[in-house]
Structure 1
Amino acid sequence: MADAITTRGMLRRMAGELENLSGELRKAVTYVIEHPNDVSVSSVREIAESASVHPNTLVRMARHFGFAGYDDFREPFRDEVRQGGTAFPDRARWLQSLAKGGKLQELYAAMAASAIENIEMSYAGSDALQLKAAAEFIVRARRTAVLGLGISSSLAQNFAYLTGMALPNISAIPSPGGTTLDDVGRLGPDDVLFAIGFRPYRTEVVAAVQLALAQGARVIGISDSPAAPIVTLAHIGFVAQSRTPQFFTSTVAVNAILETMVAFIVADAPNDVIEQIESLHNRRFRLGIYVEGSET
């Protein structure tokens, strides 16, 4: 039954039957309704102690609602945590509970499954034509500013670094010593702002997108929701799934989309781009920047 029900549906059913329950069972159900996140991260004894009931009462409660036992009852709540449907602190407590219970293999499997699912869903939500259009924006732009703050900062820096080997007019912002809005304020109709951001959305990034649009620049946005401001406002928007069992945002899928965009940019760039990239690497070897013999 655990695979066929959501925690929201389960809690609604429990609330609907609460008036018909009595004694210890009612106390247990009341506690679960009021503290649903605890179910996924606490043991049966911990829940029983917090609810002031005997552990067997929780087993009776689970069976009352059609589950084989308490572990079966708890599974939908744990699934929601694995899928990123609960708050950061609750996911953190769940991670710690796995370590204490010697269940890190479960965490390993959940991380692998969520990473693969995020990539699959992100590619399914995009297409080659959309990526090609974004690549053409960047290749034909006078200047492209790549914006990412917080966890997105390293993504923006890496994207600008890689594409900068092919095109000299791409840079990450904010620039050293500058501010985001100052950098965006220099963009015009021949330029592109590429904004990257995830929940909780930064007001500074949204303001930068709005300013770029007001100045006639083209905007590309990538975020974790089709309703994200930088996606809805952008000329071209991408959604990269970021669900994860842990409490930091997953960037596996957005990295995959960005790497694909880099490939499209190189493919769409002028014919001498490959020679420029090879020349750059050869120069680095001559100058001793790379370890000799580490060519790929």
Structure 2
Amino acid sequence: MKNTNVLQLQRDDVLEQISAQIEQWTPQVQKAAAYVLENADNLGLITVRNAASAAGVSTSTLTRLAQLLGYGSYDELRAPFREYLKLGKDAFPDRARWLQSIAQDNAHGGLYADMASASIGNIESTFDQGRADSLKAAADLIVAANKTFVLGVGVNHSLATNFAYLADMALGNVEAIPRLGSMALDEVGRLSKDDVLLAMTFKPYRREVVEAVVEAKRSGVTVIAISDSRASPILRQADQGFVVASESPQFFPSTVATLALLETLVAFVVADADDQVVANIQAFHERRHQLGIYLEEWDS
């Protein structure tokens, strides 16, 4: 039996090679490359004609992309994607039965089931990528940084604030941006080469986040990026990048997998830091108890 991890590595090697080289190619080849990055999960099932039509390029452009990546043809390029698909994912019959049962519960059951399925699927898809080594590398960058600034706008600002709150409790040098009344570009101007910028944006990508990441890289700041596609403009600039699934039956992209990834990154930060981190967290909570901020059990 073929090893799932080996096939995943082969597929991810291709995707990382595309991400690293895409800026060097012609506009048409870039379109083809972006299509591959956007459709990595299904590429093994897509013929060259269908892929070319969907990407808005010619079949010869896809062949050219394959050749630039060291393959003789498009079929050779998609081989590792096709092989990975053959293994499939783990079956979850109990989960499937549960989802079907709640869909029949009442008028809202179908939506409830769709939301549950999307949330579980997003987390599975995100963690199926096996990025523990990359998460550790990102955590090491944050622990070693002079300061870490966490950038998110719109709904993502709450995610940035939550991560900064938890990480700062341990390290004491993590801050969410932009602050009230400020702009992302203004905030990035405060960063030095010893700092880290953790940025996130999802389709439709926010211009101010992309511009802030570009400016940070221009200034020599280390960038960790989280987005929903390998073709995301902030992932192209990142020293460490993570792709999260954000599918949702609702009108807004799901943030469940992003939150799960950020919580995992916080755990890695605490695990990688020295013993002082434990003392910092303990002192933080002890002070809150002393100030009566927490409701003690006997007070209720």
Name the TM tier (shorter chain).
0.5 to 0.7
Q: CA separation in 1, counterparts of 2:297 and 2:200?
A: 36
- Alignment of 1:275 onto 2:274: no
Q: CA separation in 2, counterparts of 1:233 and 1:163?
A: 23
- Alignment of 1:215 onto 2:213: no
CA contact (8 A) 1:139 1:167 kept: yes
CA contact (8 A) 2:164 2:174 kept: yes
The aligned counterpart of 2:161 is 157
Q: CA separation in 2, counterparts of 1:193 and 1:200?
A: 21
Quick one: which of 219, 228, 233 aligns to 2:232?
228
Q: CA separation in 2, counterparts of 1:274 and 1:167?
A: 10
Describe the superposition over 1:4-38 as per-residue Cα deviations: whole angstroms up to 9, x where unpaired.
xxxxxxxx9xxxxxxxxxxxxxxxxxxxxxxxxxx
Q: CA separation in 2, counterparts of 1:183 and 1:154?
A: 17
Q: CA separation in 1, counterparts of 2:236 and 2:297?
A: 47
Match of 1:280, SS state, is helix
Counterpart residue identity of residue 110, structure 1: D
Structure 1: stretches of 5+ with no match in the other structure: 1-11, 13-97
- Alignment of 1:252 onto 2:256: yes
CA contact (8 A) 2:151 2:199 kept: yes
The CA deviation at 1:291 is 0.6
Counterpart residue identity of residue 183, structure 1: E
The aligned counterpart of 1:141 is 145
Count matched residues: 198
CA contact (8 A) 1:192 1:219 kept: yes
**Range with bigger deviation, 206-215 or 169-178:** 169-178
The aligned counterpart of 1:293 is 297
CA contact (8 A) 1:221 1:231 kept: yes
Q: CA separation in 2, counterparts of 1:154 and 1:126?
A: 26
Structure 1 length normalisation: TM-score?
0.64
Counterpart residue identity of residue 212, structure 1: A
Q: CA separation in 2, counterparts of 1:280 and 1:211?
A: 34
Structure 2: stretches of 5+ with no match in the other structure: 1-49, 51-102
- Alignment of 1:238 onto 2:242: yes
The aligned counterpart of 2:185 is 181
The aligned counterpart of 2:204 is 200
CA contact (8 A) 1:147 1:156 kept: yes
Q: CA separation in 1, counterparts of 2:235 and 2:130?
A: 13
Q: CA separation in 2, counterparts of 1:261 and 1:126?
A: 13
CA contact (8 A) 1:126 1:238 kept: no
The CA deviation at 1:293 is 2.6
Structure 2 length normalisation: TM-score?
0.63
1:10-25 equivalence runs, <5 A: none
- Alignment of 1:264 onto 2:260: no
RMSD (Å), alpha carbons:
2.1
CA contact (8 A) 1:166 1:274 kept: yes
The CA deviation at 1:137 is 0.6
Q: CA separation in 2, counterparts of 1:176 and 1:123?
A: 33
